[in-house]
Amino acid sequence: MAAALGLAGMAIAQDAPMFGGEEDQAYAEQVWQAMVDQNLAGDGAIMSFPYPGTDPHGMMLETFYSSATIDGHEGALVVKRNYGPEGVTVDQVLGSPGEHLGAVTVMFMREAGYDDETGNWFYAKYLPDGSLDQNPNGVALAGLVGKNADAGCIACHQNAGDNYLFTTDADMGMMMME
């Protein structure tokens, strides 16, 4: 019977998501605060000129490249604001960004050893108020979202090449310079 319970426990552990737990949620809160401190999120966030996007991010996007220090580690920070709905125009987003903001998606390069296999990127998807979005199973979208899966952040971004970024060939070292 003990062996059967042990096997059942292993099955549950294997089914548990690799992301979205309390630790990932707490880390995501720190990332959000770093973005607010840099005026990249929240009330009074700086704006850039939106550009056309596509699913899963949004029909209009803004992307910012910066760095942040979380728990004493300085890492590259990529912030993408996702606007919609389908058919939204640049003028509509510029005229009323809050009305069209659907989500803020983030990649933050954590310390070496966080997950070397996936470039040490921490992913998060926030709702406009800074709370974490959730997948259909109610799991917070923070951490190694989509690792070893057919969908999700890592499942998609692993196709972007060595730096996991589709939008730029940004030099991570340059992003870290002050």
The CB-side HSE value for 68 (13 A sphere, CA atoms) comes to: 26
Domain that holds residue 45: 18-144
| pLDDT given for residue 153 in this prediction | 80
Domain count, the chain: 1
In a domain, 157, yes or no: no
In a domain, 161, yes or no: no
User: For 121-159, how does the pLDDT look when each residue is reduced to its tens digit (9 = 90+)?
Assistant: 999 999 999 999 999 999 999 999 888 888 888 777 887
Is 23 exposed, middle or buried (CB count within 10 Å of its CB: 0-12, 13-18, 19+)? Answer: exposed
In a domain, 79, yes or no: yes
In a domain, 4, yes or no: no
Residue reference for tokens 């699913």: 55
In a domain, 36, yes or no: yes
Taking the chain (178 residues) in runs of 10, the rounded mean pLDDT of each run is 42 61 97 98 93 88 95 96 95 95 96 94 96 95 89 79 73 50
pTM, 2 dp:
0.84
